[in-house]
């Protein structure tokens, strides 16, 4: 159901509810007043009869009238929505990186082998360390995106979430916390979280040579396998040179293609 159809359905439901409640407010007070009036008339108390009519009848009628007016307002809004041109449903951003835990077991085995921890007695700090290993396949690239001011909040995030992420990204850029702290809270990264000027490169590089580059770097410089080392800023600083070179090459090739097509 598109946004237009959903809104119309909600308005129709509200209108129906208003009408039903208005009818109830009109029916029950009238029945109550009828029995009160009968009782008062039998005692010949006209003044009390009028008071009962005013106190019982008028408030109910006012509430019913307000509900009927609201129902009419809903009818007007429904007509406006039905006359509005069709709007295609919003397209959600595609996922660039998604880690639903499939790397966790591999990272856990590496962590246990390196630390000698008892697998049945892992602390919260141990678990966080394991997850840090599990994000080896994206952490360097994420840090590069943040450091080069290529990050932006996804259009799928609400205003409060976007503000919280912006604050976290500022802390990561200052190196107060690690990029893995962002991934620990999200597990995924959307394509539109990269500004357009670098988005094409990030998508192409991540789906292409990036993982092999990280694996080679880990073996040569860290003597470790992928998902077998923690994120450290000094390691990132050594590796980011490769990302910079890949980005420069990407821009050069795209500029050349652009010139050839002119």
DSSP per-residue string spanning 149-186: T-B---TTS-HHHHHHHHHHHHHHHTTSS-HHHHHHHH
Query: Which helix (H) or strand (E) is 241 found in, with range?
Result: helix 233-261
pTM of the model: 0.65
pLDDT given at position 205: 98
Over residues 74-124, the pLDDT tens digits come to 677 677 766 766 555 556 789 999 998 889 999 999 999 999 999 999 999
> Is residue 1 very low, low, confident or very high in pLDDT (cuts 50, 70, 90)?
very low
Least confident of 73-77, 134-138, 139-143, 219-223: 73-77
SS3 87: coil
What is the share, in percent, of the chain residues with pLDDT greater than 90? 53
Write the pLDDT tens digit of every residue in 27-83: 555 555 555 555 555 555 566 656 665 555 566 666 666 667 776 776 776 777 667
User: What span, in angstroms and rounded, lies between the C-alpha atoms of 182 and 189?
Assistant: 10
Written as six digits, the tokens of 173 are 């850029």
Give the pLDDT band of residue 189 (cuts 50, 70, 90): very high
DSSP at 86: P
Per-residue pLDDT at 3: 55
**pLDDT value of residue 229:** 97
CB 234 within 8 A of CB 175: no
User: Could you tell me the two tokens for 114?
Assistant: 């390196």
**What confidence category does residue 174 fall into, taking pLDDT thresholds of 50, 70 and 90?**
very high
pLDDT, average across residues 246-259: 86
């Amino acid at each position: 159901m598109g946004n237009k159809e959903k809104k119309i359905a909600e308005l129709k439901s509200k209108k129906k509810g208003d009408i039903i409640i208005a009818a109830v407010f009109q029916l029950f007070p009238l029945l109550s007043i009828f029995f009160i009036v009968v009782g008062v008339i039998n005692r010949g108390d006209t003044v009390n009869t009028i008071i009962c009519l005013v106190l019982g009848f008028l408030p109910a009628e006012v509430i019913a009238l307000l509900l009927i007016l609201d129902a009419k307002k809903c009818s007007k809004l429904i007509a406006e929505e039905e006359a509005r041109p069709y709007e295609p449903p919003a397209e959600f951003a595609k996922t660039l990186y998604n880690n639903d835990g499939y790397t966790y077991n591999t990272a856990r085995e590496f962590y246990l082998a390196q630390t000698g921890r008892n697998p049945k007695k892992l602390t919260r700090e141990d678990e966080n360390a394991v997850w840090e290993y599990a994000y080896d396949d994206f952490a360097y690239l994420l840090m590069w995106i943040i450091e080069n001011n290529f990050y932006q909040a996804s259009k799928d995030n609400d205003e409060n979430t976007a503000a919280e992420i912006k604050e976290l990204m500022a802390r990561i850029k200052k190196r107060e916390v690690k990029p893995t702290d962002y991934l620990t809270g999200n597990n995924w990264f959307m394509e539109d979280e990269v500004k357009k000027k670098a988005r094409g490169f990030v998508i192409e590089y991540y789906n292409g040579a990036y993982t092999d580059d990280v694996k080679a770097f880990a073996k040569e410089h860290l003597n470790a396998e992928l998902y077998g080392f923690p994120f450290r800023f000094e390691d990132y600083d050594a590796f980011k040179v490769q990302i910079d070179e890949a980005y420069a090459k990407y821009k050069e090739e795209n500029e050349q293609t652009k010139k050839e097509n002119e």
